[in-house]
A and B are shown apart, each in its own frame.
Chain A
């Protein structure tokens, strides 16, 4: 497994660990350091009398360290991995794993096998499962009823006062939706807290989101009138989980996928990882969505701008975008140039078309080509060849970075559309790929 400096730093639990890890990426700090195709291990001299023993499992990235730090991975793990990334030659290459390393790795392997076995062995109790579904349905229905009452209360009194208390006005109902096992609705309510209430336009955004959530509850309550796909789509939007097995039963799509964007969002100790992919052959987008609790490590160590050759299975729905990897064939560095939509008028038409098919769409992805970035009266826009412009939601700093990268010349980019604005996630020009953080 070869990781870049940036990728390793992304594993750090906080800024202090990043800095400390970088300082430990120094051969002088390590009394011993060894490498093996399966693992890295070394002894780092800390403030204690005995050096700390650090091990890194390179097959399924994991860290172990004898230091007392509660951070995960600790600075020693990060330091050792950073040092390996920059000065691999300074590590003594070993044919066999050291005893304590082999013991830890084998324990991990055994644990993983047991987990799989347990899954396979466990028979499904259909009666109990049905009971659980019914109980959940009751909970969800009750939660939705409460949500509808809350929404009506909000519009009865008006939203004028919301900016005075933007983080609390929906706190209780959001928690209630979590209790009602309607995670999808809770997520939609949380999204309202991301509105910038200090900026003009919040009124429309909040009204739209309130109305959309209400509309979703109506659709859910009337889902029996809809076809099976829509029922699944609505279930997913409300927060019903679709089992991995069900998804893997879908026909896989094999393609070379460009890793177009990778973002992390942390909320209530849960980190949401969103990886956007684009298939070269099928010209289709896919979203790998992962959730990590606490200090759990990311499942995929993918770098934007690389190409993933894999079979993906899509979650069933009206417009299937979310997917999981059924089989990964290869992860290739670099990317092939892509020709995307070059007219913003076409983008607008496609947005209208997609909203008509699925009005609850939150993000609509596009690959755009021959775009320029411009600014006018303090606002930033994407401009196409016939001077049509589309407003950007990237930060001011992001936009200057984009201008510096493109030098005012046309470029290709991956963007997400969200309520009348585009957000540039990555750009490529002259065979160079840039992920906009």
Chain B
């Protein structure tokens, strides 16, 4: 899947909230190759501010983060009128049903379990960015 940057993805921004450096590296690679602008943040505490600063088109959010977990961040985002429209893709290594249900209750836009398929993540972000 040799994807080239298309017009559709041009100038679209993705913010990755994740603390595992190797996963960030891999996500950045696929997204940049697809034409997205990628920002990243590693600490749960900085996540919401970072969203405000970058106003991304899509947020990729991990669940287990230092200092503040993904659910808390999601809750804050969705309760902030200015940010609540930004679609959120939640990526998590905790694959339990309960977590998915929690996320859906907090109005997450998409939910994918780690380890993920690059293709799946990419098409999901493509889909979310077009909304």
Partners in one complex: no
Where the two chains meet, the residues of A that have a C-beta atom closer than 8 Å to any C-beta of B are none
Where the two chains meet, the residues of B that have a C-beta atom closer than 8 Å to any C-beta of A are none
